[in-house]
Amino acid sequence: MIQRIQSIYLSVIALISLLLLKGNLIIFSDKTGQSIKVAFNGVFSNNAGQGVVLIEKLIPLSGLIILIPIISVATLLIFKYRKIQLRLSLFLIVLSTFLLIAFLHISLRLISKFDASIVPGFKMILPLIILILSILTYRGIKKDDNLVKSYDRLR
């Protein structure tokens, strides 16, 4: 049903995921003052003499960030088919878990490689919020499905 709370969760997931497309996701700084920024399309180093240099591309992370809002909007729009909606929301949980793991992996790898420390930012917690909202979405859709099944038994 489109007017349920999981519709709000799915909309917020899509909006938060779109926030991840712009700007820096995670910022690191090392002891020399060099800043390392993880953006949507790669890891960039901000050297004083060279400017911004691409260290590596992050194609799997980019794919996850693009796929999550698409799946959440698709899940939102197929409200008449609860079984498919339930599967897509479960797939959304898996994708958000992979996004959180990718964030942690990239962070730990850059910390060890460049001996850097994380500069706190609000975009660091967005994958965790996406995962929590995905789980709440699944629970809401499951509850609606069980409610409809119980009404079908009464008829």
Using one digit for the tens of pLDDT, what is the confidence trace for 26-73? 999 888 878 899 998 899 988 767 778 888 898 999 999 999 999 999
Residue 85 in 3-state DSSP?
A: helix
User: Whose structure tokens read 């498919």?
Assistant: 84
Q: Is the pTM of this model over 0.75?
A: yes
Read off φ and ψ for residue 139, nearest 5 degrees. Answer: -65, -40
Task: List the 116-119 sheet strands across, edge first.
Answer: 51-57, 42-47, 35-39, 24-30, 116-119
Average pLDDT score over residue span 127-151: 91
Model confidence at 18, pLDDT cuts 50, 70, 90, reads very high
Kindly indicate the confidence band of residue 133, based on its pLDDT and cuts at 50, 70 and 90.
Answer: very high
Two tokens at 69? 């809002």
At 154, the pLDDT band (50, 70, 90 cuts) reads low
Confidence of residue 137 (pLDDT cuts 50, 70, 90): very high
What pLDDT band is residue 155 in, cutting at 50, 70 and 90?
low
Q: What percent of the chain has pLDDT above 70?
A: 94
Task: Give 35's strand partners.
Answer: 29, 46
Mean pLDDT of 87-110: 95
**DSSP conformation class of 81:** -
